């Protein structure tokens, strides 16, 4: 049960850490910056992974696995890539009690080792496209760790594809970004903003990077997934070539794209409240929890018998029967509210007599979210109510995003706006203007919007002519 959770309004960051630990999603590991994902948190990640994996396979991608250790020389082949990742690398210099001839980098991302393998596997245009994804762990040395959001080791998926033309590669990059956005919206009930990263925020070694940005419950942004057009940079570095239909030799065009366990943090921060988690039904480890209520042994036998029938009736859902002894119903209610189970089924002696149960929605605490349902209508009512909860969470998050997104026209208004939300404003493209905003407001350009006005405007920072509107926000 929640032990005096800090309110979101009082200290959002502290509330987040308390919820993650008290709801048993994760805990701090003995190695600084690392975390232990507990069974409940891992079950949530498995549902995220399953929903994405289906989408990847439906679009022709296959899963594979590549090594955790990468020769240091591989990263040095792509200069911008090694420069971008150098401060975050973990390097192995001793193995088997002996100094290694060449240091090994613990995988921060896999473009280099996959590029090496693609150079071996691809000979002809007939081998293209190559559409591979891997589910793996990566290590990036983190100075300011936070559970799920920033950890030295984290889990993710990383897709890596190779194509015959730039047009095919760009289509892949946009397709995967659309898949991430659709997944966030329809599975996690999180609306996102899609766009292109600025040059300073671009993935090291990419030609262009694209992102989905979600607004957390405190108005900050979270980069939730990215998709990168790598051009021919890695293909040239690793000599990934193919023979064309005409007999010529060309370098491939490659992409990479990924979503990590930080998305669990997004689910917590977008939907949670002062009682704990609120999980979207499509991803929740338990969609329904049954809480039997009794006082005497006679009532216990009667109620548990009915609860078993309810459990069987709800076999098509992810359902949990909480028949723990020595715990009061009130304790159980609070415990499952903390854990964010979308729907609670309450059944006591009076309900058994009336051949009904009481359904309680997690997203609507109190009497407002309760409804009595007859036994014979239970499965249909539960399915309908879970769908209603899923839609309500998305609509609530969408309304919050809209209410906390502004369009400032002056620099002072921009600095004020990013204190509690997203600011959409004209930007001239100058790195100096971007750096000024970051230095003076701690906000960054989260993305450049895909849908741009036909006319130009004045840069919100310097007043110069600007052709694009950017989303500014403080971010995790």
DSSP single-letter state for residue 87: G
Nearest CA-CA partner of 342 in 394, 388, 373:
388
Note the pLDDT of residue 2. 53
HEC string of 289-335 equals EEEECCCCHHHHHHHHHHHHHHHHHCCCCCEEECCCCCCCHHHHHHH
For 27, the enclosing helix (H) or strand (E) is: strand 26-28
pLDDT along the chain (476 residues), means of 10: 83 98 98 96 98 98 98 87 82 96 96 97 98 97 93 98 98 98 98 97 95 98 98 96 97 98 98 97 98 95 96 98 95 97 98 97 91 96 98 98 97 97 98 97 98 95 97 97
DSSP 108-161: S--HHHHHHHHHHH--BGGG--EEEEEEEEEE---SS-BTTTB-SEEEEEEEEE
Q: Could you tell me which CATH class the domain 12-271 is placed in?
A: alpha beta
Q: How many residues does the chain have?
A: 476
0.85 exceeded by pTM: yes
Residue 162 structure tokens:
């190779």
DSSP single-letter state for residue 175: H
Note the pLDDT of residue 80. 77
CATH 3.30.930.10 placement within the chain? 12-271
Q: Tell me which fold the domain 288-401 belongs to.
A: Rossmann fold (3.40.50)
Quote the Cα angle for 434-139-135, to 5°: 100
Residue 351 structure tokens:
């309900």
405-473: CATH, from 3.30.70.260, 3.30.460.10, 3.30.450.20, 3.30.110.30: 3.30.110.30
Note the pLDDT of residue 87. 85
Write phi, then psi, for 252 (nearest 5 degrees).
-70, 165
Note the pLDDT of residue 14. 97
CATH 3.40.50.800 placement within the chain? 288-401
Note the pLDDT of residue 143. 85
Q: How many CB atoms lie within 10 A of CB 351?
A: 21
Write phi, then psi, for 82 (nearest 5 degrees).
-70, -35
CA distance 126 to 71: 30
Note the pLDDT of residue 3. 67
CATH 3.30.110.30 placement within the chain? 405-473
């Amino acid at each position: 049960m929640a032990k005096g959770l800090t309110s979101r309004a009082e200290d959002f960051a502290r509330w987040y850490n308390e919820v993650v630990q008290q709801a048993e999603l994760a805990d701090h590991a003995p190695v600084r910056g690392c975390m232990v994902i507990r069974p409940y948190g891992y079950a949530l990640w498995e549902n995220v992974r399953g929903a994405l994996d289906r989408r990847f396979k439906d679009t022709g991608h296959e899963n594979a696995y590549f090594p955790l250790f990468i020769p240091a020389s591989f990263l040095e082949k792509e200069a911008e890539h090694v420069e971008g990742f150098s401060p975050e690398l973990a390097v192995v210099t001793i193995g088997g009690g002996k100094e290694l001839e060449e240091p090994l980098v613990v995988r921060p991302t896999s473009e280099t080792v996959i590029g090496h393998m693609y150079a071996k596997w691809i000979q002809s245009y007939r081998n293209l496209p190559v559409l591979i994804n891997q589910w793996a762990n990566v290590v990036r040395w983190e100075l300011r760790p936070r559970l799920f959001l920033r950890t030295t080791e984290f889990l993710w998926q990383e897709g890596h594809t190779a194509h015959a033309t730039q047009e095919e590669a760009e289509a892949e990059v946009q397709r995967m970004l659309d898949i991430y956005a659709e997944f966030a919206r329809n599975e996690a009930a999180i609306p996102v903003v899609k766009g292109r990263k600025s040059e300073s925020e671009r993935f090291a070694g990419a030609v262009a990077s694209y992102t989905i940005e979600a607004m957390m419950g405190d108005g900050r942004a979270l980069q939730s997934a990215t998709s990168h057009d790598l051009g021919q940079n890695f293909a040239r570095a690793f000599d990934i070539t193919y023979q064309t239909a005409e007999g010529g030799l060309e370098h491939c065009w490659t992409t990479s794209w990924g979503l990590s366990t930080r998305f669990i943090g997004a689910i917590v921060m977008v939907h949670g409240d002062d009682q704990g988690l609120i999980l979207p039904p499509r991803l929740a480890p338990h969609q329904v929890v049954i809480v039997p209520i009794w006082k005497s042994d006679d009532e216990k036998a009667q109620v548990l018998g009915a609860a078993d029938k309810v459990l069987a009736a709800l076999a098509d859902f992810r359902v949990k029967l909480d028949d723990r002894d020595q715990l009061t119903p009130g304790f159980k209610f609070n415990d499952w509210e903390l854990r964010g189970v979308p729907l609670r089924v309450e059944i006591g002696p009076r309900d058994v007599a009336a051949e009904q149960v009481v359904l309680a929605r997690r997203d609507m605490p109190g009497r407002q979210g309760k409804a009595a349902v007859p036994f014979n209508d239970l499965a249909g009512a539960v399915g309908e109510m879970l769908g209603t909860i899923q839609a309500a969470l998305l609509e609530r998050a969408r309304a919050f995003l809209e209410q906390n997104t502004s369009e400032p026209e002056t620099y002072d208004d921009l600095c004020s706006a990013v204190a509690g939300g997203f600011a959409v404003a004209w930007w001239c493209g100058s790195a100096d203007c971007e750096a000024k905003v970051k230095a003076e407001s701690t906000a960054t350009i989260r993305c450049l919007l895909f849908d741009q006005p036909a006319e130009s405007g004045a840069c919100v920072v310097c007043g110069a002519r600007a052709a694009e509107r950017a989303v500014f926000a403080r971010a995790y």
